[in-house]
Amino acid sequence: MLNYQIHRKIADIKWVNIFSPWSRQRAYLSVLFWFVLIYPLCCVCQIAPLFFFVTGQWIFLSFYAAWYYYDRNTPKRGGYRDNWFRRWRLHKWFADYFPIRLHKTAELDEKQNYLFGYHPHGIIGIGAWSCFGVNGCNVSKIFKGIRFSVCTLPGNFTAMIRREIFLSIGLIESSKESIEYVLNSEEKGRAVVIVIGGAAEALNAHPGMHTLTLANRKGFVREALKTGAHLVPVYAFGENDVYKQIDNPVGSVLRQVQEWGKSKTGISIPLIYGRGYFQMALGLLPINTPVNVVVGKPIALEKVENPEQSLVDEIHQRYMMELQELFEEHKEKYGVAKDVKLIFE
């Protein structure tokens, strides 16, 4: 009986068609490249200095240390984006895997700077990466004249080689200094993208859930006011569906452990699973489900160098209302039931 059940489960697994068209094969390969090659490479880069130290590669390590010291402030100074890298065809194949699509609801003035709030965070903000981090969704054509910089944790710029990869893409530190440097620059048509919600919201990233950690997140509003950048709400329908997460309701033992770890390190560790390369039942690759990133209309702001808290609260409330309206207007179009509401925590 047990053998019958095991064989039945194996038979029920949906296997990938290895003879599918090249357009589909290249999409699988692009995802495999990023999630199997790049992430292990990042881990290797983290311990590379120790390897060079132990093996006596002093010259190489010394040269890199000198370069790192010289270049240490670049993550706070807008990076050094390499458009050639951002325009790799591989990024378009990656977007086609899900697919990820970018939709605009209003034009942006290239003589104005913007601060994009991206929601939901999901597990890794995959839509933000594909739409704004690289040119996988033709952002350079959809928003002509706008140069995007996606914020990430400062810790992502500590590993050798990995930091250069991130900087060449145009990623910047998610610090006040970094954001203000970009948005206060003389160059116009700049847009900083912040994936709001962070580690706390990642723990709520379950398929079908639309719960945002936003009610008390107001720092991005203050930065928009201080720099005069227009606020742009963005909602990615399907962002929470690309991975499944082990149930961790508030109050459960697992959630308590995750919250404790987050309080100590600032990083949450969702227990996730996706699909495999040859089968769709279980694995670490993301699930190929549509992600539709909808960019709302800008909220025009005047520059206020020292905004009062009452003004920050007012703009924050308006931002949440605009985001709520954006969600309601587009949710049914992108597979969300009519009775589902956006929740702010």
What is the C-alpha to C-alpha distance for residues 267 and 240, in angstroms, rounded to an integer? 18
Beta-carbon-side half-sphere exposure of residue 160 (alpha carbons within 13 Å): 18
- Predicted structure pTM score: 0.90
Q: CATH topology for 23-332?
A: Glycerol-3-phosphate (1)-acyltransferase (3.40.1130)
**Separation of CA 243 from chain center:** 14
Is the preceding omega at residue 154 within 30 degrees of 0, hence cis? Answer: no
Q: Looking at the predicted structure, is the pLDDT value of residue 84 above 90?
A: no
How does the average pLDDT of the chain come out, rounded?
88
Answer whether residue 246 shows pLDDT above 50: yes
Q: Which residues have C-beta within 8 Å of that of residue 210, sequence separation ≥ 6?
A: 120, 240, 327, 336, 340, 341, 342, 343
pLDDT digits (tens, 9 = 90+) for 117-160: 999 999 989 999 999 999 999 999 999 999 999 998 888 888 88
Of the listed ranges 78-92, 119-133, 247-261, 324-338, the one predicted with least confidence = 78-92
Per-residue pLDDT at 81: 72
Sheet strands side by side (includes 147-152): 100-104, 291-295, 230-237, 114-119, 190-195, 147-152, 172-173
Convert the pLDDT of each residue in 262-315 to its tens digit.
887 777 888 888 887 777 778 888 999 999 999 999 999 999 989 999 999 999
